[in-house]
Structure 1
Amino acid sequence: MNKIKKILIAFSLVLLVFSLAGAADYFLEDYQARKHLEDLAKQPEDSPTGSDAGGGATAPPLSDEKAEEDEPVMLPKFQELYRRNPDIIGWLKIEDTVIDYPVMQNPQDGEYYLSHDFDKKESKHGLPFLDVHCQIDDGDILLIHGHYIKSGMMFADLMKYKEERFYQEHPTFQFSTLYETADYEIVAVILSKVYRKADEVFKYYQVEKVGTPAEFDSYIQNVKQLALYDTGVTARYGDKLVVLSTCEYSTENGRLAVIACKRQ
């Protein structure tokens, strides 16, 4: 065996070792993230409160206008989680998917949970988080972002909604704030993309521009036009919407979004 062949074989072995190490790191991080989220989902609702736990969870004020009103009562299942990380603003659960996650919002950094877990440790998986232009207690549309993870974690299971049959079997999902649990009916499932600022097209993610009845109606009309299929569900001004958004790779900067209306 000549010298060149030996060098090529050695180089190939080095590449193989690095590839295996990288794959091992990926699967280990994926396992740890799954385990971490499973532990969060199992958080007992009867966690100690009051003096026995070093002080009860203090509910954050809903808004400046509402601060003078009586403070709302935080749901028991969130009290220990809120003490652990007050960035939690809710919980999202979709049946027959892995989506059973806390929803976060960091007041200092709108994209913090793109790369951090519940305990604020760096994580490629991140966590679902509320858009920087949204406030959990204010506004008609809550836009929630989540990574598409190839292993199936985070918002990867939203891709199941490309199939109308899956929607028909799962027309609703559950989103809880710290103070109430509600079901949301799916209005539309759309494919879109992140456009350039100069592009004069409908941008479903610009929820901060939806404030008036006319703007809300226009938003609904636009998502209906982009819908992959007809759900038969619509929304009117005054209804509360949740928009779940994740990457979709059939086009550059592609996005898939599930738009749902709070059930009355």
Structure 2
Amino acid sequence: KGDSGLEITRKIVFLISVIAFSVCLELISSYYWGLHQSKKLYDQLQREIEQISLDTVDPTKIQQGSVSETMELSELGERLLAQNADAVGYISIPGTKVNYPIVQRRSDDGNDYYLYRNFNGEHSDAGVLYLDYRNNFDRVENGKRVCDNSTNLVVYGHNMDNLSMFGSLKNYRNDWGYYSKHPLITLCSNYQTYTYKIFGFFIIDAEDESETKFDCWNTLNFSSEEEFYDYVNNVKRRALQTNGVDVQYGDQLLTLFTCSGIFDEARLIVMARMVRPDEDPYAGTQESQQNPNVLWPTIYYRWNKNNYDPDAEFVPYGPVTTTGDDNEPAETTEEADE
């Protein structure tokens, strides 16, 4: 009372600033407290998981993946399901922070439900890693597998600043030597343990409707060999680094999906294929080098020069074709050798 108009305005601005600061402080404190609680939850779970012996499944069974195969719930599966009925397994990338349970909500909202819920179903900005609701992954009833596994398993996770969840996947893009040190992924279902080797990591635009569109997360199975090779060669053209890992029709794929900060709808994809019977898991992973001809999403070229050359030499996965006379169909190298 009695203050001048200018003084009243100054005090109002000051009070609004104090309130805004308090609200921001509360939000920031709540965010970091939530991350702390989330870390405690997963650290405790990781310690318990480390006490469980994980036996790698016979690779011949992996390749068959037959329906009606007898499958026994593992000690790991028992532990996970006791805490969350939506648990479908556990994933780790040795030597990295990726070491978490995976859940799956088999409903239409399944790809949203766990975005901001932790493994206990409580609110959490970090969320939990979750399998695409459309995927089939060691679905078992009465001790029998009830359907074949999806050819491409897609696992989603947040790109957290503290490197939790899938936050450390950015190192594949940012650190030149990271891939050669961490090329393998261990994926456990509630029944078996599988090993995958990474063959590509790349950036896509989740909203891309241009000629560079590649909604790789929506392809979970392949209807033909041609479709499979078209898919994995799309990966190879986009890969930020090349390597000597081969990919063959019939390989089981694993896709890790997270956000990337290079533009609003950027997504970082890390893709792997299952290690085959009697194969050296590291074969081809030590031959990595930078890809000199990366196919980026169209939006990327708004800020960067488009250096992609569609006519550059490209060695595809799958049968190599040789083009003959213009009026003759192309033949595979196998046919040419006969």
* RMSD after superposition: 2.2
Map residues 5-84 of structure 1 onto 2, 5 A cutoff: 5-43=10-48, 66-67=67-68, 69-70=69-70, 72-84=71-83
Contact 2:205 2:213 in 1 (8 A): no
- How far, CA to CA, are the matches of 2:198 and 2:105 in structure 1? 27
- Letter paired with 1:214: E
Report the 3-state secondary structure (helix = DSSP H, G, I; strand = E; otherwise coil) of the residue aligned with 2:133.
coil
CA drift of 1:164 comes to: 2.9
CA drift of 1:212 comes to: 1.8
Q: Does 1:102 align with 2:101?
A: yes
Which segments of 5 or more consecutive residues in structure 1 lack a partner in the other structure?
48-64
Aligned to 1:212: 224
Name the % identity.
Answer: 27
Q: Does 1:155 align with 2:166?
A: yes
Q: Does 1:183 align with 2:184?
A: no
Contact 1:186 1:231 in 2 (8 A): no
CA drift of 1:45 comes to: 7.5
Contact 1:147 1:155 in 2 (8 A): yes
TM-score, scaled relative to structure 2: 0.67
Contact 1:46 1:76 in 2 (8 A): no
Aligned to 1:59: none
- Letter paired with 1:143: V
Aligned to 2:305: none
Contact 1:220 1:234 in 2 (8 A): no
- How far, CA to CA, are the matches of 2:180 and 2:216 in structure 1? 23
Map residues 80-95 of structure 1 onto 2, 5 A cutoff: 80-95=79-94
Compared CA separation, residues 3 and 202, structure 1 to 2 (3 A): closer
Contact 2:132 2:154 in 1 (8 A): yes
CA drift of 1:80 comes to: 2.1
Report the 3-state secondary structure (helix = DSSP H, G, I; strand = E; otherwise coil) of the residue aligned with 1:42.
helix
Report the 3-state secondary structure (helix = DSSP H, G, I; strand = E; otherwise coil) of the residue aligned with 2:110.
coil
Report the 3-state secondary structure (helix = DSSP H, G, I; strand = E; otherwise coil) of the residue aligned with 1:26.
helix
Compared CA separation, residues 161 and 30, structure 1 to 2 (3 A): same
TM-score, scaled relative to structure 1: 0.85
**The one of 255, 280, 283 aligned to 1:243:** 255
**The one of 144, 150, 154 aligned to 1:139:** 150
Contact 2:116 2:127 in 1 (8 A): yes
Report the 3-state secondary structure (helix = DSSP H, G, I; strand = E; otherwise coil) of the residue aligned with 1:8.
helix
Tell me which moved more, 210-219 or 29-38: 210-219
- Letter paired with 2:8: K
Compared CA separation, residues 153 and 19, structure 1 to 2 (3 A): same
Compared CA separation, residues 211 and 133, structure 1 to 2 (3 A): farther
Contact 1:161 1:167 in 2 (8 A): yes
- How far, CA to CA, are the matches of 1:44 and 1:224 in structure 2? 35
Contact 1:43 1:77 in 2 (8 A): no
User: What are the Cα deviations for residues 59-98 of structure 1, in whole angstroms up to 9, with x where unaligned?
Assistant: xxxxxx834x53x122212212213222111111123322
- How far, CA to CA, are the matches of 2:243 and 2:50 in structure 1? 35
- How far, CA to CA, are the matches of 2:235 and 2:123 in structure 1? 34
Structure showing greater radius of gyration is 2
Contact 2:187 2:194 in 1 (8 A): yes
Aligned to 1:57: none
CA drift of 1:129 comes to: 0.9
Aligned residues: 245
Aligned to 1:255: 267
- How far, CA to CA, are the matches of 1:211 and 1:43 in structure 2? 40
CA drift of 1:131 comes to: 1.1
Contact 2:91 2:99 in 1 (8 A): yes
Aligned to 1:201: 213
- How far, CA to CA, are the matches of 1:41 and 1:250 in structure 2? 31
Report the 3-state secondary structure (helix = DSSP H, G, I; strand = E; otherwise coil) of the residue aligned with 1:103.
strand
Compared CA separation, residues 124 and 211, structure 1 to 2 (3 A): farther
- How far, CA to CA, are the matches of 1:7 and 1:201 in structure 2? 51
Report the 3-state secondary structure (helix = DSSP H, G, I; strand = E; otherwise coil) of the residue aligned with 2:241.
coil
- Letter paired with 2:164: M
Compared CA separation, residues 209 and 177, structure 1 to 2 (3 A): closer
Contact 1:185 1:262 in 2 (8 A): yes
Contact 1:131 1:143 in 2 (8 A): yes
